[in-house]
A and B are shown apart, each in its own frame.
Chain A
Amino acid sequence: MKRYKKWLLALGVVLLAGAGLIWYLYTLKYDDTATIKADYTVNALDFINEFKKDMAAANKKYSEKMVVVNGMVSAIEMADTTANIKMVDTTNGAYIIFAFQQQHLNDAKAIKQGEQVSIKGSCSNGAFSSILETEYITFKRCAVNK
C-alpha cells in the first residue's frame, strides 16, 4: 500500500511538472528589446556592405541576433497601424528596415528623417529583392537604443 502511494505521489509530481513546463512555454513572451543586451553594435553602411559582400556569411552571423545599428534615418514608412524606420545606402539603394516592438512604436513615430539614431532589434535576415533589384536587411522587435 505504501509503495502504491509513493508511485502515485511520484506520478502526480511528474504530471504537475509537465503541466507547469507546458504552461511556461505556452505563456512565454519576448522580453522588451530595450532590456536585452546586444550581441553586436554596427554602423549602418558598414553593416549593409557586409551583407553585400557575402550575404550567406552575414546571415549566418547576424540572423536572429540582437544588433544595435547606428546610422542616419532615410525614411519613416507608415505601415498599416505601425511605422518602420529605414536606413538606405544612397549609392546603391540597399537598405535596412526596422519594425518596432509595440511598446516602442511611439518612439519610432517621433524619429525624424535625416536624424542620427541608434536602433536595437532582432536581425531577421538579409536578401536580394527581385522587385527592387537591391539588397535589403530586415529587423523585427526594435526599440530606440537609449
Chain B
Amino acid sequence: MKKTMLSLAMVLASGLLFAQKKTTTSAVISFDATTPIDALPKAENKTVIASLDTKSGTMAFEAAIKSFAFSNPKIQEHFNDKGWMDSDQFAAATFKGSIVNLKEVKFNKDGTYAVSVAGDLTMHGVTKPVTAKGSITVSGKVIVATSEFSVKLEDYKVEGKAIAAGKVAKEPTIKVVAEF
C-alpha cells in the first residue's frame, strides 16, 4: 500500500514538474525589413522573455523595442523614433497565444514537431490576431521553439517616411528562436 502511494506520489510529482511553465530570458527575435534599395533595416533582440506551458500549449513573448540591436546607429535611432516604432511610448512588443496542434507534440519524446501557433501580437500599441507556422524540437530536457513569419507594418500603424520611400519593407520577416 505504501509502495503504491509512493509510486503514485512520484508520478504526480514528475507530472507536475513537467507541466510547469518553462521560461527563458534569452529568446532571440530578429527581423529583416531590408529592400533592394536599403540593406540596413535589420536587427536582433537577444534578450526576449518567453514562456511555454507544455500542458496547455500556451506561449508568450515580451520583447523590449529598445533591445533590438542594429549595426548602424542612424537606423537604430530612426527605428526608435516616433516615425517608426516610437519606443518611448510603446516600449515592448508582446505575443500571447497557444499551439493549435498541441496533441501532435510529444514533449516527452525527442523529435522535431511542426506546429501552428495562433494568438495576439501587440506592437506599436496595436493588437492583431496572428497565426504562424513553426517547429518545436525536443531534445532531452531542452525544448527549442522556432518560427518565421511576416507582418504588415500598416496593420500596426507603423507608417514612416522610410517605409513610403521603399527603404523599409512593408512586410518584414520576423524570426523567433526560444530555447527552454
Judge whether A51 is part of the interface by a CB distance below 8 angstroms: no
| 5 contacts across the A-B interface (CB closer than 8 A) | A78-B26, A79-B26, A125-B67, A127-B64, A141-B69
Pair count A-B, CB < 8 A = 85
Q: Judging by beta carbons under 8 Å apart, are B25 and A30 in contact?
A: no
Given contacts A124-B66, A125-B66, A127-B92, whether A26 and B26 have CB atoms under 8 Å apart is no
Q: Judging by beta carbons under 8 Å apart, are A136 and B49 in contact?
A: yes
Q: Judging by beta carbons under 8 Å apart, are B64 and A124 in contact?
A: yes
Given contacts A28-B74, A131-B50, A131-B51, whether A82 and B66 have CB atoms under 8 Å apart is no
How many residues of A are in contact with the other chain, CB < 8 A? 29
In the complex, which residue of chain B has the Cβ closest to the Cβ of A24?
Answer: B74
- A80 to B176, alpha carbons, bound, how many Å? 10
Judge whether A110 is part of the interface by a CB distance below 8 angstroms: no
Binding site for A on B (CB under 8 A): 23-28, 40, 46-47, 49-51, 60, 62, 64, 66-67, 69, 71-74, 87, 91-92, 94, 177, 179
In the complex, which residue of chain B has the Cβ closest to the Cβ of A81?
Answer: B28
- A80 to B74, alpha carbons, bound, how many Å? 26
Q: Residues of B contacting A78 with CB < 8 Å?
A: 26, 179
Q: Judging by beta carbons under 8 Å apart, are B67 and A82 in contact?
A: no
